[in-house]
Amino acid sequence: MSPTSRPTPLVADSVRPGDPWPSVEVVEVLGSTNDEVREHPRPWRVVVAERQERGRGRLGRAWTTTPGTSLAVSALVPVPPSGAGWVPLLAGLAVRRAVEEVAGVGTVLKWPNDVLVPADGYRKLAGLLCEWVPDGVVVGLGLNVGSAREDLPVDTATSLRAAGAPDVDRARLLTAYLVHLARVLREDTGPGGPSVAAYREACATVGSEVEVRAPDGTALAGLATGVDDEGRLAVRTPAGDAHVSAGDVVHVRNR
């Protein structure tokens, strides 16, 4: 964080997303917001931490946060009609809509739910980690808001500030995200519904040449042709069509 920045603390009373969300819980320090919600699950519970000591992203990656410059939030949501596999994807759509609404920054989605800023070299603005529990799905979001470029952990990351939106109110952004998350889940009517269609339209991976690295270390390369009804990425390879349920996608060439 640069010496001149003075982040405003996030105050729970300033986040009022309305039904179905109850009051938002904001804590100063937490090991992991996802772990907190998983250990004490309640429908539509929302926990925000100014600093996470054991934050993590997809595929076991660490997610670091600087107090006052990011959003680290987890929420417990029900499984929608399209199925649990679609929750991570629809959550990414909610983030994209909230960022455009509040910050005016255009983004696209990299399957399954990385939020990228095309105008900033397709750097990553936000990521999500979703974990299944008996009560539904815990949706964990890490979003870089006020970090200066030099304070970001890797060159492939960006923040709203670095992308040209330096004065975004985190309370407004969090409120918009929760509103849009509830909305995309509520409007989900199944594989042919509007929420699924909107995700497919926003997903820049579809139509791109990709390399997919699976958790077991194997990789495949080809053209991403779509997202199937289970939320899997369809890839056309020289050996035939494949459907990927998990993995790290690299856009070799964007559409």
Domains in the chain, CATH or no CATH each: 12-201 (3.30.930.10), 206-253 (2.30.30.100)
| Closest to 136 (Cα-Cα) out of 30, 5, 43 | 43
d(CA 249, CA 183): 27
Q: Is 255 helix (H, G, I), strand (E, B) or coil?
A: coil
pLDDT per position as a tens digit, 140-177: 999 999 999 999 989 999 999 999 999 999 999 999 99
Helices 194-202 and 170-186: angle between axes, nearest 10 degrees: 130
Residues with Cβ within 8 Å of 51's Cβ and at least 6 positions away in sequence, in order, are 28, 29, 30, 65, 66, 67, 72
**pLDDT averaged over every residue in the chain:** 91
User: What average pLDDT does this structure show over 179-208?
Assistant: 95
pLDDT per position as a tens digit, 72-84: 999 999 999 999 9
pLDDT per position as a tens digit, 75-110: 999 999 999 999 999 999 999 999 999 999 999 999
| Closest to 220 (Cα-Cα) out of 236, 202, 196 | 236
**Any idea which residue has 């949706």 for tokens?**
139
d(CA 247, CA 237): 16
